Structure 1
Amino acid sequence: MFDFEAALKDIKNKGLNRELRNLETAQGPYSVIDGRRMLMMSSNNYLGLCNDIRLKRAAIESIRKFGVGAGGSRLTCGNFTLHRELEERLAGFKQAESSIIFGSGYAANIGAISGIADKSCVIFCDRLNHASIVDGIRLSGAKLVVYKHCDMDDLENKIIRYHTGRGLIATDGVFSMDGDIAPVDRIVKLAKKFNLMTMVDDAHATGVLGENGRGTLEYFGLKDDVDINVGTLSKAFGVEGGFVAGKRKLIDFLRHRAKSFIYSTALAPHNIAAAVEALNIIETGQQARKELAEKSIWLRSKLIKRCFDVPRGVTPIIPLMVGNVDTALKFSMLLYNEGIYIPAIRPPTVPKGTSRLRISLMASHSYDDMEFAVENLVRFGRKLGVIP
């Protein structure tokens, strides 16, 4: 019988135990967490839409018309006209022929991969891909080949070594813990050279990267060069859910084979209505996206000048590398006590020895907010010996 007590003790002794913090207000630059007003510096609410009045109005109107629940899966009784509208709009937004909505980005990844791949397939996976991609590969029974992070030479060498028939290259668009951007343009070239399919999980790029917020494909000047374009509604869109965009025949196939779509209750109509409104905002306005990019560059520059180990980049995900688990936890708690919420990210979420504070910006953060954060990061970073 499994000894949960011993396992939990081992987790705690390694400094890897997790605690749930309770939000008592909507997410914004400041939120009330466990009774305290905190500067929120860890949210994926990149464009500040979680508490946008326009999304709330759309959701409320939808509740009045459709109620609060879907009542079943999309293939039984849960397919509302709103679902079809959003799928058509997402396809247009991603410049694809069609799209399909899932209950989450995790469900989209495992559904898409396990739906199309089997033991005859080889899938080449970036070492730092999201866990949902890895889980989807394992569920599919496909051969998993891991290549070094964003290393195209290693990827090509492994394609030459392992590719024999059906194959797929899968990558995050923006890596969730490092904030760097995959070289999607080079991945596409390799895929065409070796006749492989491509999949990009654009969860952290959709709504954020590209002139129109379409993600990494637009960022690299690509259009429909990626076969499986995964996105999420739970980050820049401010609501919840995931989706896959691509050729119509792919999407039709996933409706028949993606188990996380077939056997899940549909997303509630009010969530879909809010997502449609979020898409309206993302498609018609660039100011928030522009401000987010400018603030991301500004904060990275400030932290690098203060000698923090922060990689250069342009995304709102800014990992402040600490290394040691205990130091990362102490750093996070000192900030928490000062009214700044930046959780410590530890193994197994990140590789051993790379514990960090994952800073995540919103367009709604002010420069005063960021100055306050930098001031305390420097103060406690010096105290803990993270910076000189």
Structure 2
Amino acid sequence: MHLIDTLEARMAQLDAQHLRRRTRPTQSPCEPHVKLNNRDCLAFCSNDYLGLANHPAVVAALQEGAGLHGAGSGASHLISGHSQAHEALEHRLAEFVNPQFETCRTLFFCTGYMANLAVTPALAATGEPTAIFSEALNHASLIDAVRLARGARMHVYPHGDLRTLETRLAQETATNKLIVTDSVFSMDGDIAPLPQLLALAERYGAWLIVDDAHGFGVLGAGGRGVLEHFGLKSPHIVYMGTLGKAAGVGGAFVAACPQVIDWLVQKARTYIFSTAAPPALAHALCTSLDVIAGLQGHSRRQHLQALIAHLRERMASSSWRLLSSDTPIQPLILGSNETALAVSAQLEAQGLWVPAIRPPTVPPGTARLRIALSAAHSINDVDRLADTLKALQ
């Protein structure tokens, strides 16, 4: 059959380029020491930055939530799927991030991808001429969101290039402007210059849409994310935080001034037309927020920063280069797809799971190991990784 033959030919091309992707089923909960292919393995690949995915209190809250609210929601939020648990989580999230806003409301989504697909198209659908300014290294969900913004003019500015961004903002005649950026870039681990981006948003009357998937729970003294990290507060900010990474469960939320949240409820297609996430997840996330905000969350963030510093010190003399990053994402650049896959396989043979990241996720010639640290790791875990990497050079 021609259609199947075409797919098989394209898959053969991916194999030749070392670009085919496969799932890797685990036989244990998400934590540093996992079972992969029924073998014990030390993992450096999850985004469970605070080690909450298998935290006993969070697991117990999920079980309790299922007992209280059942297994599913049954409908979209605007039909009958918005439970008391969802409402309680949205209020709890608004209280948690409120110091970074004049007034704040939140909206809970099934995933971060769905949240991002909601915000940009909805804010572009005001009926005014719209221009969107998107960071070159934005996550795929932000890129797709820009593509879904019908009728908007799109500008992609080079990574971290504030001068080019300001030039394009000044030249643009659209009355509705949106600056869209990740906070922590998921493959490089660096942090966007949010104070300067906010200054530009306020100067040119633009919305600043911030995807803090990899900052929420990790950055800031209280784990409130990149806005707390920089001490930012503005009605121009529309903030997305993911709840399946540092928060350890699943889903995401958008925080903004009440008028923005009201508009999303009217116009955000991924909110209006999706079955609501199981209310048990929302119930568990309230406990997760308690951990993040409490003394335990503070100590976990301190330990995580110590692990980051230790890994960077251990790898400072390596011939393989770690990109500059103060976040749990520590990319080790290896260059070719083949080399990245080979080193990842050699690590796995020694019981270490560190995935190879290849194009199109990263630019050609920059294939890498994406080392992801968690507060559940120990110093000895990091030493084992560093020793093995140095032995492979």
Specify if TM > 0.5: yes
2:119 counterpart of 1:112: yes
Say whether 1:41 aligns with 2:53. Answer: no
Q: Of the candidates 178, 192, 203, which is equivalent to residue 182 of structure 1?
A: 192
**CA 1:161–1:352 in 2, change beyond 3 Å: closer, same or farther?**
farther
1:208 and 2:211 correspond: no
Aligned match of 1:282: 292
Q: CA deviation at 1:353?
A: 1.2
**Whole-angstrom distance in 1 between the partners of 2:186 and 2:236:** 20
Q: How does 1:71-110 map to 2 (within 5 A)?
A: 71-95=74-98, 96=101, 97-110=104-117
Give the structure 1 partner of residue 350 of structure 2.
338
Contact conserved, 1:300 with 1:312, CA < 8 A, in 2? no
Any residues of structure 2 matched to 1:161-176 within 5 Å, and which?
161-176=171-186
Query: After superposition, what is the alpha-carbon deviation per residue over 1:66-112, rounded to whole angstroms, capped at 9, x for unaligned?
Result: 11111111111111101011111111111141000111000000111
The 8 Å contact of residues 200 and 226 in structure 1, kept in 2 or not, is answered as no
Structure 2: 5+ residue stretches without partners: none
Greater shift in the superposed pair: 297-306 or 128-137: 297-306
Give secondary structure in 1 for the equivalent of 2:190. Answer: coil
Q: Distance in 2 between matches of 1:7 and 1:377?
A: 34
Query: Which residue of structure 1 lines up, in the alignment, with residue 388 of structure 2?
Result: 376
CA drift at 1:55: 0.7
Superposed displacement of residue 32, structure 1 = 0.5
1:50 Cα deviation after fit? 0.4
How far has the Cα of 1:150 moved from its partner? Answer: 1.0
**1:354 and 1:147 mapped to 2: Cα distance?**
20
Task: Specify the alignment match of 2:58 in structure 1.
Answer: 55
**For each residue in 1:316-349, what CA deviation from the matched residue of structure 2 results, as whole angstroms up to 9, or x when unmatched?**
0000011111000101100011110011000011
State the partner residue of 1:352: 364
Secondary structure of the residue that 1:304 maps to in structure 2? coil
Q: Which whole-Å CA distance do the structure 2 matches of 1:126 and 1:373 have between them?
A: 33
Whether the aligned pair in 2 keeps the contact of 1:199 and 1:227 (CA below 8 Å) is yes
1:227 is displaced (CA, Å) by 2.0
Contact 2:202 2:236 in 1 (8 A): no
Unaligned runs of 5+ in 1: 383-388
Question: CA–CA distance in 2 between the matches of 1:93 and 1:291?
Answer: 22
* Letter paired with 1:360: A
1:138 counterpart = 2:147: yes
Within 2, Cα distance between the matches of 1:173 and 1:36? 36
Deviation at 1:65, TM superposition (A): 1.4
Q: Which amino acid aligns with 2:195?
A: D
Q: 1:226 to 1:216 in 2, by over 3 A?
A: farther
Assess, with a 3 A threshold, how the Cα gap between structure 1 residues 212 and 288 changes in structure 2: closer, same or farther.
same
* Deviation for aligned residue 1:312: 2.4
The two structures have a TM-score, normalised by structure 1, of 0.96
Give the Cα separation in 2 of the matches to 1:221 and 1:214.
10
C-alpha RMSD of the superposition: 1.3
Alignment check: 8 A CA contact 2:73 2:277 kept: yes
Q: Residue type matched to 1:30 in 2?
A: H
Determine what percentage of the aligned residue pairs are the same residue.
Answer: 39
Kindly state the Cα deviation for residue 144 of structure 1 after the two structures are TM-superposed: 1.6
Provide the residue aligned with 2:16 in structure 1: 13
Partner Cα distance (1:363, 1:60) in 2: 24
SS of the residue aligned with 2:42?
strand
Letter of the 2:142 counterpart: I
1:262 is matched with which residue? 272
Taking structure 2 as the reference length, the TM-score comes to: 0.94
Residues 70 and 269 of structure 1 are in contact (CA less than 8 Å); yes or no, is this contact kept in structure 2? yes
Q: Which residue in 2 is equivalent to 1:324? A: 336
Q: Given residue 23 of structure 1, which amino acid in structure 2 is its aligned partner?
A: T
